Amino acid sequence: MHCASCASVISRIARKENGVIDCDVNFATQQMTIEYDALKTSLDSINKQLRRLGYALILDASDISSIEKN
């Protein structure tokens, strides 16, 4: 992300995805927290929308293990 406006655009695009419940993009930390209904969407689908803007989701190991538990 290059600026706070970029974070706002990313958040807005992610929230448009059917099934996204909440999304918070923090420009300062370069991180996004997203809550979504896995029956309606997937991280892959959300990532495809973000890639259209030139961004991509990057998950760390703790993110993946918490997803797998749910």
CATH number at residue 39: 3.30.70.100
Q: Mean per-residue pLDDT for 6-33? A: 92
Domains in the chain, number: 1
Closest CA to 35 of 53, 17, 62: 17
The range of the structural domain enclosing residue 16 comes to 4-65
Tell me what pLDDT residue 57 has: 87
Tell me what pLDDT residue 68 has: 46
Coil, strand or helix at 13: helix
Tell me what pLDDT residue 63 has: 62
**pLDDT: which is higher, 68 or 27:** 27
Q: What is the pTM of this model?
A: 0.75
The verdict on residue 50 lying in a domain is yes
The verdict on residue 10 lying in a domain is yes
The verdict on residue 28 lying in a domain is yes
The verdict on residue 60 lying in a domain is yes
Tell me what pLDDT residue 62 has: 67
Tell me what pLDDT residue 12 has: 93
